[in-house]
Structure 1
Amino acid sequence: MTHFDWQSCFGPLLAELESTGESHWAEAIKSQLTRRFDDNPHGDLGRWQSALESLPEIPDATSELNTSAVTLHSPTNLDASQQQALENGLRGLMPWRKGPFDFFGTYIDSEWRSDWKWDRVSPYIADLSKRRILDVGCGSGYHCWRMLGEGAGRVIGIDPGLLFMFQFLSVKRYVGAAPIDLLPIRMEDLPQGLESFDTTFSMGVLYHRRSPLDHLLELKGTLRRGGQLVLETLVVDGPEGYSLTPEDRYGQMRNVWFLPSCDTLLRWLDRTGFRNARVVDVSETTTDEQRSTDWMRFNSLQDFLDPEDPTKTIEGYPGPKRATIVAEKP
């Protein structure tokens, strides 16, 4: 298996953390990456790395990060061999779940229209200009790129999925040096009480946590005083105190634990010490926003809903509804 040179990939970030007095976090990251890539590498690591390395060199590429599709441009048209190499490499990184992306005219129609979520969330968040941002459970990093496009000073995404990291690196390969990284680590791998981010995003994560209040406390620990939390999660209708706990699966997902009402979620934020928590958007997830595509050919939302009543999941629970809440750390 080809060795993944994580030291070169993450060297600038580690050096930055050393220079900002966060050497304890840099050392933790080195230990975590050693375990992931050197001690117990993933079986598909070589295949994904080969796909990434097969992407053609395109000098002077430019990026457009504040449009629906994260878009890469070239000053000259790609020739047929470049176009084919590009498509082959990107298809080697399937399935693409979060996006969309446009690589020099090759459009990746991802499973999720993540731009729709961004359009719902972005009007209600603090100005991201020059802010230091953490995106928890960032997937392929689509929203990280949109944050950078809004002028963020530094963006760090975390997600344990190694395929997501290679999808992210396929974009960064052409963007070049930029204050943005995706670490293949879990929330619980972060040092407790970092208190180093101006804004922390957690979108589509809370319902996967066995202890949602502990997740909120972990998120709070990442923020500086006065920092903003942007939380997006599945919710259900109901009074304060009500939360749905699926018997086994929800929408065919086993790892869904708690779907609170909006009022319950606000209470959780209050109990964990956030202030000024408010619901800024509630939207039902439709099969226009999440669906199978040529870039994600597995089952998707249409297969997880009751065919007789698409307002319900296949298990009979209320269909997916997502709320976005913003709050501040005192």
Structure 2
Amino acid sequence: MKKMLTLIGLILCVSQVSCDTQSSLTESELVEKIIVSEEDVNGTLQLFIRDIDGLNPTQLTFNSNKSWMPAISPNGKKIAYVEESNVSADIYLINIDGTENQLLTSGGINITPVWTPDGNHILYTHTPTLNGTIPQRIFIMEANGFNKTALINETGNYSEVVPTISPDGSQVAFASDRSGHDQFEIWKANFDGANLTQLTTIGYDSIIQANIQQKVPSWSPDGSKIALWRGVEMNELNQDGSLRDQLIVQSWKVCVMNTDGTELTAIDFGDDPAWSTDGQYIYHPDPMNRDQNPNNAISIKKHRPNGSDNITLFKTTRGFGRMDVGFIE
């Protein structure tokens, strides 16, 4: 597998978006939808829009390259997403109906877009080279792709990836290996980079003999919780169906914690959590309910933040490349 694809495969990511505060439409006039990346009839990941119950999929992108990591704009009119080929990974912007595809980034690897609550800017993970060279940094740009800059201006030999923004726009949480373990944990900081705080700490599974990392933070719409993924990273898999591989997949948990890192609780098997717009449910793929081939269909579930009311909504057509939940106009 090419180094760039390996790097991206190691970064589990998903974005979370708050309700629109600027649209002239009221929430009652907006419709909550799921944007999910799943394979088309040609086996290429594309963006599909589904009803909030997972029904009525409609394909939005028809790119020759993989299209994934969707993020719905706060006003429900746009989707930022990643188009990835063998030589690039860049962020594009399309209308909610799939029209007017606009390139926002070029050069290096650019993934995991997430909108600021006012809809004026997009945060994303940027790697300056295509060969997987670290460090990776969180960048911010205007929603039209102009004025790109690092969010936290530092030069250490560590990475900061997969940002999520508090609903009031004052803080950002992200995954980083800056603690020196060469493994990822969840950190947060003020939007200007001040008050940098570590929220989680890696663990160790003595049976698998591998570290347990934390990634993919997703801030709740009311600002009180952060959902995240915790587990042994997928690069530890041998892809041979062994007991160790099974235990690695079983280690993948969706967790919820307070925004200060306390009361970290595993609520289900899975990864890539995304909140409903009212914060009453968490949506995520279920790696425990899939066929043996990792490229086959994956079940998408939802449940309460405490793990109750666990419901399987639908299976992707084939494969999975992240999803987002939000109001659309």
TM-score range, shorter chain: under 0.3
Q: TM-score, normalization: structure 2? A: 0.27
Q: TM-score, normalization: structure 1? A: 0.27
Higher RCO (C-alpha 8 Å, min separation 6): 2
The structure with more radius of gyration: 1
Between Structure 1 and Structure 2, which shows a larger proportion of helix residues? 1
Between Structure 1 and Structure 2, which shows a larger proportion of strand residues? 2
